[in-house]
Amino acid sequence: MSGDALPAARETLRRRGEDPHRLGHRAHGREAVAGTGRGGSGPASKRIVVGYGFWIFLLSDVILFACFFATFAVQRDATAGGPTMRALVDMPRVAAETGALLLSSYACGLSYAAANARNKLWTQVLLVLTGLLGLAFVAMELQEFVGLAGRGIVPQRSGFLTAFFGLVGLHGLHVTLGGVWLATMVAQVQFKGFRPEIMHRLTCFNLFWHALDIVWIGIFSIVYLMGASA
Amino acid sequence: MSDPETFAAGPASELDGREDHAPGDAPSEDAGYWVHNANFGLALSVLLTAGAFAVVRSDLVWGPAIPVALLVLAIAQMGVQLVFFLHITTGPDNTNNVLALAFGLLVTFLIVVGSIWIMDHLNHNMMPMQQLMQMQP
């Protein structure tokens, strides 16, 4: 290091040498770092603020699902002489639904990687694939519900069935509305391109879709598989 | 120093590596890194899902322990997806996201465990419905 460097620059270089990947505390004030959102150098960039805000929304959505899960757990044995969970589970269908949603989540992650590389063709192909797999999931779930209703298994039958249709139906509704959002994203990427605000929306959509898959992990494990083994 | 709003202008100036990361965001590594990351996450998720179905289908696990095994596999898979799909890590650029997640999990835990606990006790301590009906004038 040359001796005539300014003290502040020398300090920066020293820090960089000690901690090249900045795993320790970052400097405040003097060192110019685009906003980290911690008050050291102004607000964080919009990309970060939008993603973080949506993360907070998603966590509130998870809490909503927690309420439905709690209801299901409490109402589990309130079958009023009607069918139990064991009678409802159709294993191959649950496995197919799980596979469709997992692959959909995977395709969504790949589309986001393609979007970050500014590859429009792959972004669109993978987004459409995400949507088709999501649609397959919703179709299988609807078919399941219609089949159950045909056997007289409806939400009005017992407290357990109300909780079951409430929880699984709420998730299905989320996937359906997510699919509508996805369709608008495909159109926006097509006609507006990768503008900053479109990238923000893609970030949020990506988060939303992955979060739905995480909720489904809870549903297939706790509702279906535990119900089948009980 | 680049203006924060220009980050999304092109692949090269995508993100400042020193900035905090939003959940789900893909920091400035090239696309191949993220594809590799997603492949790894998918492989682990498929393994854990297949494991969950196998636990129910086979006699691998002692009957009464199956719910616990399913819970463990589910939580493991949620963790895998948080890391590989939502890119939540323990790095300092993720502190805000992890703290928000921790609070969300706390509320989730309180709601679910609290409901089960309270309702279970109510069921235990309440007089059976038959007797209650007979006491009515």
**Cross-chain CB nearest to B108 (options A26, A62, A207):** A62
**At B5, is the pLDDT very low, low, confident or very high (cuts 50, 70, 90)?**
very low
Residue B23 scores a pLDDT above 70: yes
Is residue B108 less than 8 Å (CB to CB) from chain A? yes
The two tokens of residue A63 are 């809490």
Contacts A103 to B, Cβ<8 Å: 42
Is residue B83 less than 8 Å (CB to CB) from chain A? no
User: Which residue, A207, A212, A79, A57, is CA-closest to A138?
Assistant: A212
Domain ranges of chain A: 1-44, 46-229
d(CA B23, CA B19): 13
Section A66-80 average pLDDT: 93
User: Which residue, B78, B104, B136, is CA-closest to A56?
Assistant: B104
- DSSP assignment of B36-105 equals HHHHHHHHHHHHHHHHHHHHHHSSSS-GGGHHHHHHHHHHHHHHHHHHHTS---SSGGGHHHHHHHHHHH
B103 contacts A46? CB cut-off 8 A:
no
**Per-residue pLDDT reduced to its tens digit, A100-125:** 999 999 999 999 999 988 899 999 99
Section A56-63 average pLDDT: 96
Contacts A219 to B, Cβ<8 Å: none
A71 contacts B23? CB cut-off 8 A:
no
- Selected residue with higher pLDDT from A34 and B77: B77
Architecture of domain A46-229: Up-down Bundle (1.20)
Predicted ipTM? 0.79
Is residue B34 less than 8 Å (CB to CB) from chain A? yes
